[in-house]
Amino acid sequence: MSESTNPSPPLLRVRNLSTGFETPRGLLWAVDGVSFDLDQGRTMGVVGESGSGKSVLVRTVMNLLAANAVVPDDGEVLFRGRNVRDLDAIEERHFWGTEMAMVFQDPMTSLNPVKRIGRQLTESIRFHLGLDDDAATERALELMNQVGIPEPKKRLRQYPHELSGGMRQRVVIAIALSCSPKLLIADEPTTALDVTVQRQILDLLGRIQRETDMAMILITHDLGVVASYTDEIAVMYGGQIVEHAATSDLFEDLAHPYTEALLASIPRIDLPSHARLQAIGGRPPDMVAPPPGCRFAPRCAYRTDECEAAIPELISVADRMHTCRCIRPLVSHRDVAEAVVAPNRPGSS
């Protein structure tokens, strides 16, 4: 987010990135003018509902797009100073795995069902690091220990269907980590898993991220997941980042009405049972013909006519790190509200 205050460039710099898809109804802008920086050793959470563009964003960053995708030239993805979009096919193959790696949502479909785990795990090790079979197997066993797979020798000879969902996701993580990438992108890595297994996998990713000091982008629709495991959060809506802040700032001083509405719609276990949920009315915008102004305006509780005049810019609220795409960010409402309420609450800290 922040303009570089330190002289060294960030690990990943994304500027004004847009991705569109040709559809029968016209061009659909799934990602629309996204910019952010990510430093080494940081974990960024990208939150949003289905169709908000979060998966397309990271696929564009990885250069893993379908043939009907359109990426305008003024969008930039600079990874360690190099524009990812300029890589040719051969450079790209050496780039994936060693520089950036990705963990997908469904471990069953991202593993090859007719190849043994060992073969899939050593494939990229042999290709990228040029190790022979024995050395690659050695490294594979090491990785399996690192991701907490019991009986690794036996697992190497098994097929994906012989493993549980959590174990398969550990294998996928091991493959992603095999060539020590600088950036790991995890796209909904735990959505298909049970809550206890989710906790294990997120703890595992967090531990490995701290040990290796790599950067991580964690994509999820679950605000609970990002709250516990990230340093900063970007909230996406309608292909745009609508709020971006350090994790603690976002939850303390959320500024965008969409972030507020998203949080209020979660059935939290600390709420009493039968509490009525604050559903967000309406539907996400049609990205072939998005609303003219703020994309969230049609569903927003604080909407004014002004909101529909033009797309709001990302502006700083509170401090420079915290930005929000809203002409009337909530922080200002709350300051006013608290100033009125505060004298009546002597006991509050």
Partner 1 sequence: MAGVGEAHLRTDSTPLLSVEGLVVEFPAGRQGVVHAVSGISFDVLEGETVGLVGESGCGKTSTGRAIMQAPRPTSGSVTLDGTDLASLDAKSLRRIRPDFQMILQDSISSLNPRRKVKDIVARGLRVWNRGSRDEIDAKVREVLDAVGLDPEVVGSRRPHQFSGGQCQRICIARALVLDPKLIVCDEPVSALDVSVQAQILNILRDMKERYGLTLLFISHDLGVVKNVSDRVIVMYLGKICEVGSPDVLYANPAHHYTELLIESIPHPDPSARSRDDLFGRTAVDPPSPIDPPSGCRFRTRCPAAQERCRDEEPQIREIGPGHFVACHFPVERSANAAAGPGGDIAGE
Which residues contact partner 1 by CB under 8 A?
49-50, 148, 150, 164-167, 194-200, 202-204, 206-207, 221-225, 227-229, 247-248, 251, 261-263, 265-281, 283
Question: Among residues 37 and 249, whose Cβ is nearest to partner 1?
Answer: 249
Question: Among residues 16 and 248, whose Cβ is nearest to partner 1?
Answer: 248
CA–CA separation, 99 vs 103, rounded Å? 14
Helices 165-177 and 195-212: crossing angle in degrees, nearest 10, is: 20
CA–CA separation, 61 vs 113, rounded Å? 27
Nearest-approach distance from CB 126 to partner 1, in angstroms: 29
Question: Among residues 70 and 197, whose Cβ is nearest to partner 1?
Answer: 197
Nearest-approach distance from CB 86 to partner 1, in angstroms: 36
Nearest-approach distance from CB 97 to partner 1, in angstroms: 26
CA atoms within 13 A on the CB side of 111: 30
Question: Among residues 125 and 218, whose Cβ is nearest to partner 1?
Answer: 218
CA–CA separation, 128 vs 131, rounded Å? 8
Nearest-approach distance from CB 98 to partner 1, in angstroms: 28
Question: Among residues 103 and 226, whose Cβ is nearest to partner 1?
Answer: 226
Question: Among residues 32 and 249, whose Cβ is nearest to partner 1?
Answer: 249
Token representation of residue 37:
């920086």
Question: Among residues 182 and 221, whose Cβ is nearest to partner 1?
Answer: 221
Cβ atoms of 278 and 261 closer than 8 Å: yes
Quickly tell me which residue has 């009907």 as its tokens.
Answer: 68
Nearest-approach distance from CB 29 to partner 1, in angstroms: 19
Nearest-approach distance from CB 253 to partner 1, in angstroms: 12
Cβ atoms of 40 and 6 closer than 8 Å: no
Identity (one letter) of the amino acid at 224?
G
Quickly tell me which residue has 């998203």 as its tokens.
Answer: 262
User: Which of 120, 102, 98 has the alpha carbon at shortest distance from 180?
Assistant: 98
User: Which of 316, 341, 334 has the alpha carbon at shortest distance from 326?
Assistant: 316
User: Which of 84, 37, 41 has the alpha carbon at shortest distance from 65?
Assistant: 84
Nearest-approach distance from CB 271 to partner 1, in angstroms: 7
